[in-house]
Each structure stands twice: as C-alpha cells, then as structure tokens.
Structure 1
Amino acid sequence: MTNTKLLKQALEYMGRTVDVFATLVAAPRQVPYKGSFVYRYVEKTVHQALIQKLARLVSGLHAARLLLEEGFLQEQAALQRILDEITEDVLFLSFSVLSGESTPLREKYLEYFFQEEFDPNDDIVSSKDRAMIPRRKIRAYLDRCVSGPKGSSKNLDALRTVSKAYSGYVHAASPQIMDMYEGSPPRFKMRGMHGSERQTEHRADLWNNFCRGIMAFCLAAKAFGTEELFLSIRNFESEFLRATSNDYQSNEWPLE
C-alpha cells in the first residue's frame, strides 16, 4: 500500500475518532445571532476546546495533502506551520488535563480561545481585539512536561528553528519563494510543481505532521480518560509507523 493510501486511511481514522470524542461532552447549542443562530459550545470546557482543535487538525491535514497532490508546495508548507501550532495546542491542553490542575495559563488560553470575534449586539460589524497566549509560553510548558521542571533549551531551540523555517512560507520570504524557480530554462512554477524533486521532499515532510497528529490523538484520548480508545490509537500509530517510516523518518525520503 502506498503512503498516499495510508495517509488517507489515517485521515479517516482520525476523523472517526473526533466523532467519538464529540459524544463525550455536551454538544454545541444553537445560540441566537442577529436574527438567526450559530452553533457554540456554551460550557467552554477544556475538553470541548480539545475536540475543536482536533477537528481543525484533521481538516488541515486533508487540505495539506490535497495541496501536495496538486503540487502547490508553498501553500502546503504554509499550512504546515498552522498544523504545527494546532498540534502544540492539543498537547498543551491534554497535558494540562493530565496534570490534574487548572493553571492560570490554561484558563487564559481558554478565555481567549472561546472569545467571540464579533459582538452580536453591535449594529455596526467590527472585530474585537483578540488576545493570545504567546507561543513561547505554550512551548515552554510542553518542554517542562517532557523534559522536567527545568526544561531543555535544546528542545526549545529546535522548535523555534522549525517554526521560523515554515514562517518563511507563511510570509512569502525570498529564500522560500525561490524554491518555485526551476526548469530549463528556469522560471517560476506558479501552477504547481508536479513531478519535481521538491514535491518528493514535501511529500516526505508532510508525513511528520501526520505522525505527530496521530500522537496528539493518543494524548488526547488519555485526557478524555478513554483507555480503550487510547490503546486503539496506539495500535494504529504503531501500524502507521511500521508501514510508512524507517526509524521515525518517512520512508518516502529519496535514497542517497
């Protein structure tokens, strides 16, 4: 089975798992909004936030795979930056549940996360100011969960380096844009980069987001207290790694 088929299989599995998680919390309700309604989780719990982040993670992985298949590698890489942060958020929320305590950092995160973009009582539509927890604080929290109370500057440096590299695709920096310039004669490839060496590299790179996404689902299952589902995800993760990787590296990286 090709990695493409296995990625699709992983997406189906993760999608079904989100549906299972959604049955474990109070469902969204219809909330009045300007003569109509919108769906909202009115309780605004950490588990409801987890479900939403996981749903967006699966949707983002679907989109990144489609961009890859069409050869739009710049756009795929920009989306991977978003996926990185969503995965960090899932881990952050899951660890906060497993720690057994509600920290001020988590409470602020939830407050900002559930904040409405627009005030339904305003006649004139205008966006509210939206505060955000600095990404460095979330990464430092995750680092302490993994490395101990003092953390590891090496881990944090690696996270910042990866984030900065993908940021170049988000903000269209020159070095990243020049990845589009190739051929004979060379020119900017603006309709995708089918069959190029770059596409092969980005295909292998996307595997990493899938792998970490499945691992995030494992931790989320622990946070939901669903041991049977956790074991199922762990088994799926093991099979996925066995079929798609060599020593935790995608087997689609070109051989030297």
Structure 2
Amino acid sequence: MERTVNGLAARVPGPRREPYKGSFVYRYVEKTVHQALVQKLARLVSGLHAARLLLETGFLQEQAALQRILDEITEDVSFLSFSIILGNSEPSHKNYLDYFYQEEFDPNDVIVSSKERAMVPRKKIRAYLDRCLNGPKGSSKNLDASKTVSKAYSGFVHAASPQIMDMYGGVPPQFQMRGMHGTERQAEHRADLWNYFYRGIVAFSLVAKAFGDEELFVSIRNFEAEFLRETGSGYQSNEWPQE
C-alpha cells in the first residue's frame, strides 16, 4: 500500500512550499481530485498501521475510535473515485473538494483563529455511494447498515457508557486502563480489524481505476482475491470464533 501511494503521488503535481507565518508549509496548490485521493490513501495507510499497533498493545477502545475515522476515509475515497470512474460528478463533489482543501487557520491573522469548516453531510455521501452500487433508487438496507456501523463506532469516539463498559472486567473487576492484551475482547477486535484492511484494499483498487491504470487495478484485485483466500471466508476474517 505504501509503495502504491508513493507511485500515485508521483503522477500528480507535487506539493509546493507555501509561506506561512515566517516559515513554510507543504500544500497541493492545484487542489485536484487526484491529489485528494493520494492524500486520503496516505492517511488510510497510516490509520491502518496505527490501528494495528493499538490492537497489539490491547488499547481496543482507541482502536475502535480510529476505525470510525477509517470508515469515513474509505467512504470518501469511494465517493471521489466513483465520480471519476462513472463520470457522474455532482455539485457535492466540488463542494467536498472546496471544503477538503480549505485552510484551518488564516495565515494573515495576528491572532491565530480557526475558520469555520463546512462539510458535505455524511448521509449525502452514503446516499451517492448507494446509488452507484444499487441503481438510482438505491437500497435502504445498505444505508441502514452503514448508519448502524457508524453509530456503534461513534460510541467509542464519544466515550458512551456501553462502549466504556467493554473495558471493565478482570479479577477483581475493574476498569482496564492499560489495555486489554490477551483478553477475549482483543481477539474480537483483531477479527474486526480484518475488515478494515480488506476495505482498504478495495479503496486502493477504486483509486487505481480513477487514475485510469488498468494494470494496477488488476494487480490490486488479484491481491484482494489472494487476501480473501488466505485470511477470510464469507467476506469476514477467519479469526472470528467458529460456531
């Protein structure tokens, strides 16, 4: 994945040094959709590395919160990629890129102050993806599933009580604040993380298609098939406890 990101980054105009408060920052000045896809993939790979490290040390609450971020990144990659692959870009795609590239702070302000950042509603992104995959009318079943997953992981992001209580246990029972290494919960979260690696591979294949690189697309799809054969069945990890 890292090699692919670096290869795709070499195909778009590179970041430039832009003056910023007596120093500089790197920015993509052209602000294209392909540059956005490269950046999203870079963050996706970084997030997968981080989630794996959190899993291995037993910090499962933090892993699950990060997976909510990965959910949105993979949706964003699909949202942008399909607009190129299918040639059906909508006003929401332009708005998304405008918001994505908007600076967080005004470099001309003496006092650093955050700018207001608008966002394309998540439900609009999911509805677009649903139409791409299921036709003009979409599928309420798929949308409901997406909302359910998002709500479940939101509980980890916002520290809701049911999710916090997942870290309570042991002998005597208490809050496990140094991770839950070696517990049944860790095994469950390991199996769950498989889905994010799989979806990451799918996201990369969509970006390859959006770049018009059929050879890369086929290569990634072949890797995806091998990944499924070696580690999963029925589109889920083999590590889930078998009944």
Equivalenced residue count is 243
Q: CA deviation at 1:102?
A: 3.3
| Residue in structure 2 matched with residue 162 of structure 1 by the alignment | 149
Unaligned runs of 5+ in 1: 1-13
RMSD of aligned alpha carbons: 0.7
Match of 2:113 among 107, 126, 139: 126
Q: CA deviation at 1:90?
A: 0.3
Is residue 204 of structure 1 aligned with residue 191 of structure 2?
Answer: yes
Match of 2:137 among 141, 147, 150: 150
Q: In the aligned structure 2, how far is the partner of 1:152 from the partner of 1:175?
A: 29
Equivalence map 1:1-256=2 (5 Å): 14-256=1-243
Question: Percent of pairs identical after alignment?
Answer: 79
Per the normalisation by structure 1, the TM-score is 0.94
Unaligned runs of 5+ in 2: none
Q: CA deviation at 1:99?
A: 2.0
SS of the equivalent of 1:142 reads helix
SS of the equivalent of 1:91 reads helix
1:185-219 Cα distance to aligned partner (Å, 9 max, x none): 21111101011000000000000010011001001
1:6-43 Cα distance to aligned partner (Å, 9 max, x none): xxxxxxxx111101110111000111111111100000
1:77-110 Cα distance to aligned partner (Å, 9 max, x none): 0000000000000000000111224321100000
Per the normalisation by structure 2, the TM-score is 0.99
1:51-96 Cα distance to aligned partner (Å, 9 max, x none): 0000000000000000000000000000000000000000000001
Q: In the aligned structure 1, how far is the partner of 2:74 from the partner of 2:87?
A: 21
